[in-house]
Every structure is written in structure tokens, then in C-alpha cells.
Structure 1
Amino acid sequence: MMAVLIYSLCAITCLAAFALLLRAWSATRTRLLLWSALCFAGLTINNILLVLDKLVFPTEVDLSTWRLVTALVAVLLLLFGLIWEEE
């Protein structure tokens, strides 16, 4: 029961950060905000896959590879944005 709450709160927090960053980007058009929003979109997908992997399909399906790929893509998006904005 506690795992459901923790995993869900993590997913909701990432979704809220994504929404707030996207709203700030649409107001200011600062590219770093867009890259950060895309990173949190990937982290939201990662957390949703975590919920599916650990709680919905604990023995039937192994989503650990997909979780790692989404986390890697999310962090690479942020890294690319940070490097892009440095120039």
C-alpha cells in the first residue's frame, strides 16, 4: 500500500514539474525551460513505467529496460539542453 502512494506521488510530482516548466517556457520562450520540461516529461514516463512494472505487472512483464531507456533519454535531453545553452 505504501509503495503505491510513493510511486504515485513521484509520478504526480514529475508531471507537475513538467506542466509548470512548459507553462513557463510558453510565457518566456527560454529554451532551457523547454529542455527541462522535456526532461521531466521523460521522467514522468519513467515513473509511470515504474508503477506498471512494480505494481500492475509485477511478475508477468519486465519493464526495467524500458525504464532505463526513458531515464537515459530524459537525462540526455537535459544534458543536451544545458550544452546547447552554453554556446
Structure 2
Amino acid sequence: MLSTYRRNRGRLLFWSGLCFIGMSVNNILLVLDKLVFPEIDLLPLRLVSALVALLLLLFGLIYETK
């Protein structure tokens, strides 16, 4: 999405791309939490990464309507 943003300069693509990166980080943390480090609880870190990703998209949606 960010490569498409560089070509088209659609601001909503930028915010969507940042949200996608945040959700990817969340999924990586999920794999690390459940498969690699099952004895360590990474749930708070996963929740923070998901919250940041969604807040970025929400900010972009609100900011682009003004």
C-alpha cells in the first residue's frame, strides 16, 4: 500500500499502509507469543500494537475528511 501511495499520492493510502504495517507487527508478535516464546506473555504488547495501528487509521480517516 505504501508503494501505491508513492505513485498516486492518495493520503488515505498512506494511513491504510501504516495501519497494515501495524497489523503485520501484531501478527508477528502473535506468532512469537504462541510458537516461539510460549512461556512469555506478549498479550499487552500485541494489544498496544493493534491499538496504535487502528488509531493511525482512525486519525487518517478523520484528518482526511477535513
TM-score by length of 1: 0.74
Indicate the structure whose relative CO is greater, using CA pairs within 8 Å and at least 6 residues apart: 2
* Match in the other structure for 1:28: 8
Which ranges in structure 1 are unaligned for 5 or more consecutive residues? 1-20
- Tell me what 1:48 maps to: 28
Q: Which runs of 4+ in 1 moved over 2 A?
A: none
In the alignment, which residue of structure 2 is the partner of 1:84?
A: 63
How far off is 1:23 after superposition?
1.2
3-state DSSP class of the match of 2:52?
A: helix
Paired AA for residue 36 in structure 2: V
Residue equivalent to 1:62: 41
Identity %: 64
